[in-house]
Amino acid sequence: MKPLNVLIKASGANIEVVLKGRGSYRGKLIRADGYMNMMLKGAKEYDHDGLIASYGDVFIRGNNVMYVTIEPQTPAPGE
């Protein structure tokens, strides 16, 4: 199975999205498309020091994504 198909089928799962050079987001994946654009619900933004902000819904453009972890097992930075 292709990685993009795994991501699209993970709708409803908790994920962590690490961005290129700019921290990460954690939240519930609502939707992903073929360009790796993603919508997260209940998203929280983190940097290496910890929590920056909590949001309701977030849209992340796929071209900013370094990698995605589905159901992360490690705690978020600063938690």
Which regions of 3-76 does DSSP assign to beta strands (E)? 14-19, 24-32, 38-47, 50-54, 57-60, 65-70
Query: Domain locations in the chain?
Result: 3-70
CATH class of 3-70: mainly beta
For the entire predicted model, the pTM comes to 0.90
The pLDDT of residue 76? 85
Question: Model confidence over 21-57: pLDDT tens digits?
Answer: 889 999 999 999 999 999 999 999 999 889 999 999 9
